[in-house]
Amino acid sequence: MSENKTPISEYGKYGLINHITKKFRSVNKTTVTGIGDDAAVIDSGKNLTLLSTDLFLEGIHFNLIYTPMKHLGYKAVIRAISDIYAMNGTPTQVFVSLGISSRFSVEQIEELYEGINMACNKYKVDLAGGDTSSSVTGLTISVTATGYAEKGSIIKRDGARPNDLICVTGDFGAAFMGLQLLERERRLFEKEKVIQPDLSGYEYVIGRQLKPEFPSPVLSELKSLNIRPSSMIDVSEGLASDLIQICRQSDTGCRIFYSKIPVDYETSKLAEEFNIDPITPALNGGEDYELLFTLPLENIDKIENLKTVRVIGHMTSSGTGNYIVGDDGSEVEISAQGWKGG
């Protein structure tokens, strides 16, 4: 083993994955797509099988001081199935494994599974298995999602081309600002023992953090309009980070426009309280669980009919860089400031 010790933060999440898996090669013909996209794609005969897995660690991904167990279970399912949707697939099953410390009661785990059940019912997926183990580090949740897609219908991250439109669903930064609000109230509670925080007026951003939804109906709307994205990804790490992933894998650059990035009123209002430009959490906050996709330019008239989708920019040629364009025409390079390890 090398004596040199490189901090994980030097790579970031995607860089670390690329680094540690670069020597791996698929040897089975049934492995259509392996590491590097939202979900693995397996040729199972008539259709393609999609698989994705996500890990939730207490103290890293959630804080139980302000996260209800029911909401946590719901969110864990959303995070897992979003990867299946992002490949233009249909999620069908989830498998949930838990590491549980002795400080948790049966009733708390029941609440967790009540949230899992709610998400499964809403998105029509089955809880098909899992595992449990004791833990000395709190609560660990691992969720594996499976699904399917017809052959020829998979949408990956590497299909974007210069001049393609960059499209998004929903709005951005709300989950991050909801987290900032909850953390602020937690610190006040610990310092001043404020029992009942005043969170009125910020129900939307808190909901986006604690109990997110995924815009799955948009995929059906695109199909009904005969619109096929050239690339797609779910926005979980941050709009900037996930857009850069599409650019990197498609070998393109991009230009997005400051005034086109959708930000909710509550997000903007709360960002002002924290003295933050609302575009900063919109680009880098993460956990938005929206869709980011690209479309050939000829779809511009069709996409304008979808109220749930906004065009925020366009792809550019390889080597032209990734930039956000201000209202005055100035360009600032986009950097991925999301997950750095921890």
Q: Pinpoint the residues of the chain covered by CATH 3.90.650.10.
A: 165-333
**How much is the pLDDT for 22?**
57
For the stretch 94-117, pLDDT in tens is: 888 989 898 989 899 999 999 999
Report d(CA 81, CA 90) in Å as an integer: 9
**How much is the pLDDT for 24?**
54
Q: Which residues are CB-contacts of 209 (< 8 A; sequence separation ≥ 6)?
A: 174, 175, 176, 178, 179, 182, 287
At 326, the amino acid letter reads G
Give the closest residue to 66 by CA, choosing from 173, 199, 204. Answer: 199
Q: Is 3.60.110.10 the CATH number for 165-333?
A: no
Residue 33 has pLDDT above 50, yes or no: yes
Residue 234 region by backbone torsions, left for phi larger than 0, else alpha for psi between -120 and 50, else beta:
beta
Q: Pinpoint the residues of the chain covered by CATH 3.30.1330.10.
A: 8-150
pLDDT band at 151 (very low <50, low <70, confident <90, very high): confident
Identify whether the C-beta of residue 17 lies closer than 8 Å to the C-beta of residue 9: no
Residue 222 has pLDDT above 70, yes or no: yes
**How much is the pLDDT for 244?**
96
Identify whether the C-beta of residue 165 lies closer than 8 Å to the C-beta of residue 295: yes
Which single residue is written with the structure tokens 């937690």?
Answer: 186
For the stretch 288-301, pLDDT in tens is: 999 999 999 999 99
At 325, the amino acid letter reads V
pLDDT band at 342 (very low <50, low <70, confident <90, very high): very low
**How much is the pLDDT for 198?**
72
- Superfamily (CATH H level) for 8-150: PurM-like, N-terminal domain (3.30.1330.10)
Q: Strand pairing of 331-333 and 322-325?
A: antiparallel
DSSP letters spanning 204-265:
HHHHHHHS----THHHHHHHHTT---SEEEEESS-HHHHHHHHHHHHT-EEEEEGGGS---H
